[in-house]
Amino acid sequence: MLGLMQDRPLALPHVFHRAEQLFGHRRLITAETSGERVTTVADWAVRVRRLATVLDSLGLSADARVGTFCWNTDRHLELYLAAPCTGRVLHTLNIRLFPEQLVYIVNHAEDEVVFVDRSLLPLLWPLVDKFETVRHIVVIDDGADHEIPSDPRVRDYEELLAAAEPFAGRFTVEEENSAAAMCYTSGTTGNPKGVVYSHRSAVLHSLITLTSDAFALSERDVVLPIVPMFHANAWGIPYGALLAGAELVFPGPNMTPEAIVGQLERHRVTVTGGVPTIWMGVRPLLADHDLSSLRAIICGGSAVPRSLSEAYREAIGIPMLHAWGMTETSPIASVSSRRSHQEAWSEDERADARARQGQPVPFVDLRIADPESGEELPWDDRATGELQAAGPWIAKEYYRGEGGGTQFTQDGWLRTGDVASVDKWGFVRLVDRTKDLVKSGGEWISSVDLENEIMAHPAVAEAAVIAIPHEKWTERPLACVVVKPGQSLTAEELIEFLTPRVAKWWLPDAVEFIDEVPKTSVGKFSKKTLRDKFAGYTLPS
């Protein structure tokens, strides 16, 4: 017997129409090179409707990949809806990729058009002749003074919009499993791989961001996504905020700690999100700003140091809301929200729990498995294994079947490449990326745990641990440490600090003081760059 409920597609047009109909008065604020632009959801919606007409008038195919090369802005949000609501596929391009990777991705996805912020034109334009399928470059003038090339492929965003009639009526996407958006993994080895989100996965994922054990987004929120809109769709925050009716504040091109903290304070932001590096940068400014409006700082993308989260709790009263996910998981898979059993815990114990990657959100299944045998391991907080994920917004394969079967198990789970343990409450603790673990004498040292302990030293700004080959032990840890400005620290002092905090055999064999930990295109520590930098390094015997 079948249920007798209406079979309506779970598709992004609903997000658009709901925002337009219910939340037209809510504001969208974007920082530009010269000041801030304030608009309303109602005005934005008219522009989305015009943009829908523009996409048709450009002669794009029905499921064209629509590339964006943009900052976090309200204009980018126009593309976020206009592309999928007209059946096209939003393809956000990472503005920090190496040129060859960018060319590869644009050609691989077969983008037909790329929308680019004028301030980013100098990065994109030199590559345009290598784009095989791109017919139009549409420049969004963000006030930068870079010259706009006179070339028949180049179009002006505002001119196109002004000439277009707003699409009338309701957008429809009948097939909820059709593609809505795609993102390429920032893969450190091999070519990036395409992850293709469906309307259904995007809608369900947005809904999850509204649940109270995730981000609890609501109409009463003012949300500032610092995580780039090209990084796993800014963790689903833009769609979630529109669905909820929250106001959105966009940082635009100015991502300095001063600019971020200024926007947080000025617009009484309640929810924000970014990788730990961002929050490390903002931390010294906390004391000088009124951030009392904040209720959640979503942090993930790499492990959130306990000391960082605690520094925020002490300075402004709220710790980080630690979340874990991947481009392949849309990305929200687990969130370290508070559970009732923690009520009786000390603040210290709660801080430990917050440093974990958290419990799976509804509809995401997680398990840990022995990487060799595939055997499922117990949730006893001791056994560590490869973290695997399944759920309606978890990838089942890569675009064009790339990556082979290696990243998916026989029974269809995603192999994340992360090593974790899980406690009896279902709270994940990520030990490391498989490839970042330090294999010492047949045992594993978690570079993440060791970094956490090093970053707990008051003089340390940031630290990364990498494995150095070792004749006797296979590998030994090297600590690469950045000291806070105006502070001093010697290797001996650091080792002395670490000695009571970690097992003796975990103590780094050497400490190198560096100016900055190199970062990936999405602001994570780039262990690969560090490994290259210290290739051939000789550890003291």
Under the binding rule (CB under 6 A), the answer on residue 185 touching ligand AMP is yes
- In angstroms, the CA 239 to CA 386 distance is 30
- In the bound state with ligand AMP, the residue whose beta carbon lies nearer, of 232 and 483, is 232
Kindly list the strands in the beta sheet with 359-360, ordered across the sheet, starting from the edge strand earlier in the chain. Answer: 35-40, 27-32, 247-250, 222-225, 271-274, 296-299, 320-325, 332-335, 359-360
Under the binding rule (CB under 6 A), the answer on residue 522 touching ligand AMP is yes
Catalytic position from the list 444, 512, 519, 529: 444
Catalytic position from the list 39, 40, 439, 529: 439
Residue 540 contacts residue 506 (beta carbons within 8 Å): no
- In angstroms, the CA 164 to CA 158 distance is 10
Under the binding rule (CB under 6 A), the answer on residue 301 touching ligand AMP is yes
Under the binding rule (CB under 6 A), the answer on residue 324 touching ligand AMP is yes
Under the binding rule (CB under 6 A), the answer on residue 202 touching ligand AMP is no
The stretch near ligand AMP (CB under 6 A) out of 103-111, 120-128, 411-419, 511-519 is 411-419
Catalytic position from the list 112, 176, 247, 328: 328
Name which position in 224, 232, 243, 260 contacts ligand AMP (CB under 6 A).
232
- In angstroms, the CA 187 to CA 277 distance is 19
Under the binding rule (CB under 6 A), the answer on residue 418 touching ligand AMP is yes
Q: Are strands 136-140 and 154-156 parallel, antiparallel or unpaired?
A: parallel
3-state secondary structure of 315: helix
Name which position in 155, 339, 433, 531 contacts ligand AMP (CB under 6 A).
433
| Phi, psi (rounded to 5 degrees) for 58 | -75, -5
Under the binding rule (CB under 6 A), the answer on residue 322 touching ligand AMP is yes
- In the bound state with ligand AMP, the residue whose beta carbon lies nearer, of 157 and 525, is 525
Q: Are strands 35-40 and 27-32 parallel, antiparallel or unpaired?
A: antiparallel
Please, where are the H alpha helices in 175-293? 199-209, 232-235, 237-244, 257-266, 276-282
| CB 197 to ligand AMP: min, Å | 13
- In the bound state with ligand AMP, the residue whose beta carbon lies nearer, of 121 and 419, is 419
Q: Does residue 524 carry a catalytic annotation?
A: no
Q: Does residue 444 carry a catalytic annotation?
A: yes
Name which position in 68, 263, 272, 416 contacts ligand AMP (CB under 6 A).
416
* Count of CA atoms in the C-beta half-sphere (13 A) of 143: 13
- In the bound state with ligand AMP, the residue whose beta carbon lies nearer, of 10 and 234, is 234
Please tell me the count of residues contacting ligand AMP according to CB under 6 A: 21
Under the binding rule (CB under 6 A), the answer on residue 465 touching ligand AMP is no
Under the binding rule (CB under 6 A), the answer on residue 180 touching ligand AMP is no
Q: Which of 282, 273, 296, 280 is nearest to 227 (CA)?
A: 273
| CB 405 to ligand AMP: min, Å | 18
The stretch near ligand AMP (CB under 6 A) out of 6-14, 119-127, 129-137, 316-324 is 316-324
Tokens of 333: 């898979």
- In the bound state with ligand AMP, the residue whose beta carbon lies nearer, of 119 and 407, is 407
Name which position in 300, 385, 477, 523 contacts ligand AMP (CB under 6 A).
300
Under the binding rule (CB under 6 A), the answer on residue 93 touching ligand AMP is no
| CB 123 to ligand AMP: min, Å | 20
- Name every residue whose Cβ is closer than 8 Å to that of residue 466 and which is 6 or more positions away in sequence: 436, 438, 447, 477, 478, 480, 527, 530, 531, 534
| CB 191 to ligand AMP: min, Å | 15
Under the binding rule (CB under 6 A), the answer on residue 101 touching ligand AMP is no
Residue 336 contacts residue 357 (beta carbons within 8 Å): yes
Q: Which of 242, 243, 240, 303 is nearest to 275 (CA)?
A: 303
Q: Which of 10, 71, 54 is nearest to 198 (CA)?
A: 10
Name which position in 53, 186, 277, 446 contacts ligand AMP (CB under 6 A).
186
Catalytic position from the list 30, 53, 73, 185: 185
Q: Which of 89, 113, 116, 64 is nearest to 195 (CA)?
A: 89
Under the binding rule (CB under 6 A), the answer on residue 477 touching ligand AMP is no
* Count of CA atoms in the C-beta half-sphere (13 A) of 382: 1
- Name every residue whose Cβ is closer than 8 Å to that of residue 514 and which is 6 or more positions away in sequence: 480, 481, 482
Under the binding rule (CB under 6 A), the answer on residue 528 touching ligand AMP is no
* Count of CA atoms in the C-beta half-sphere (13 A) of 102: 24
Under the binding rule (CB under 6 A), the answer on residue 464 touching ligand AMP is no
Name which position in 84, 236, 273, 331 contacts ligand AMP (CB under 6 A).
331
In three state form, how does the secondary structure of 103-151 look?
A: HHHHHHHCEEEEEEEHHHHHHHHHHHHHCCCCCEEEEECCCCCCCCCCC
- In the bound state with ligand AMP, the residue whose beta carbon lies nearer, of 82 and 467, is 467
| CB 329 to ligand AMP: min, Å | 8
Tokens of 37: 């632009």
Under the binding rule (CB under 6 A), the answer on residue 184 touching ligand AMP is no
Under the binding rule (CB under 6 A), the answer on residue 327 touching ligand AMP is yes
Q: Does residue 504 carry a catalytic annotation?
A: no
The stretch near ligand AMP (CB under 6 A) out of 54-62, 173-181, 319-327, 390-398 is 319-327
Inter-axis angle of helices 447-455 and 306-316, to 10 degrees? 40
Query: Which residues have a catalytic role annotated?
Result: 185, 328, 439, 444
> Rule CB under 6 A: which residues touch ligand AMP?
185-186, 232, 300-303, 322-327, 331, 357, 416-418, 430, 433, 522
